[in-house]
Amino acid sequence: MPFKTILRELVESVPGATGAILADWEGEAVVQYCLYDDYELKVIAAHEGIILSRMKEVHAHFPVGGLNDAVITTDTRHIVTGAIGPDYSLVMTLDRGAVVGRALYRFRNSVQRLEKEIY
């Protein structure tokens, strides 16, 4: 199944979702599906990749297991970031009023689907 189809299904299945992007380990976009300016989503993904890398480094020093995903909430949106193996990440943006628990369920399912396609 193509990556873009997985991203489109993710965004369309989560009320309040506005975009999803698959990025490589350098934060470069591989593919995205977005309901707004995709340049903005690419910039968000690049920065989220840096944050995810730093969080992985911190977690490596504690016996809590690997880092799977994280949610950052701003005044206007939620940003969900998750690792796909050692080389990729998935970033999804949501309106501030979106239900994060539902989004995480669909997000994690999409991570598993992407892992199967990539690895």
Number of domains in the chain: 1
Give residue for tokens 């903005």. 40
Residues in the chain: 119
pLDDT tens sequence across 1-46: 699 999 999 999 999 999 999 999 888 999 999 999 999 999 999 9
The predicted structure's pLDDT at residue 1 = 63
Domain that holds residue 111: 3-118
From the list 37, 17, 25, the residue with the least C-alpha distance to 79 is 17
Nearest to 38 by CA among 7, 61, 63, 66: 7
CATH of the domain at 57: 3.30.450.30
Question: What's the CA gap between 112 and 115, in Å, rounded?
Answer: 5
pLDDT in tens, 71-109: 999 999 999 999 999 899 999 999 999 999 999 999 999
